[in-house]
């Protein structure tokens, strides 16, 4: 049941991300990825709202959390999970740990995308 909740939420999140990003991008022609920015910011806000709501509603089954947070929000934007994890690090471990996470995720993420592109262009 848990896998089904994640899969269904993931499919709906991915479709929502695609549709919303495309809607914004087709209406605002700019080189800046406004569609991605909007989806990421909206996803972060809703991740916080959903996580806060679920934290207060302990009677809700774990499948609801898996559907909404892991499935839908995780597929809508993994940036929201990254932001939530970074905030939790800030609260529990402090500035240094959260800054390390920001640097590692951002810099290493860009480097790994570059490495992937390099491998495919050289292979």
Query: Cβ neighbours of residue 10 under 8 Å, at least 6 residues apart?
Result: 70, 71, 72, 74, 75
Candidates 75, 90, 9; CA nearest to 39 is 75
For residue 24, what pLDDT is reported?
Answer: 92
pLDDT at 44: 86
Lowest-confidence segment of 44-53, 63-72, 87-96 by average pLDDT: 44-53
Backbone φ and ψ of 31, nearest 5°:
-75, -25
Q: Residue 50: is its pLDDT beyond 80?
A: yes
Question: Which pLDDT value is given to residue 60?
Answer: 66
**2 in Cβ contact with 63 (< 8 Å):** yes
């Amino acid at each position: 049941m848990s896998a089904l909740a994640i899969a269904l939420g993931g499919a709906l999140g991915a479709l929502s991300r695609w549709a919303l990003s495309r809607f914004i991008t087709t209406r605002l022609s700019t080189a800046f990825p406004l569609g991605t920015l909007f989806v990421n910011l909206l996803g972060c806000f809703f991740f916080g709202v959903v996580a806060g709501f679920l934290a207060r509603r302990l009677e809700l089954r774990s499948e609801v959390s898996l559907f909404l947070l892991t499935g839908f929000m995780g597929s809508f934007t993994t940036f929201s999970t990254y932001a939530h994890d970074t905030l939790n690090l800030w609260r529990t471990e402090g500035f240094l740990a959260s800054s390390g996470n920001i640097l590692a995720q951002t810099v290493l993420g860009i480097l790994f995308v570059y490495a992937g592109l390099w491998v495919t262009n050289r292979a």
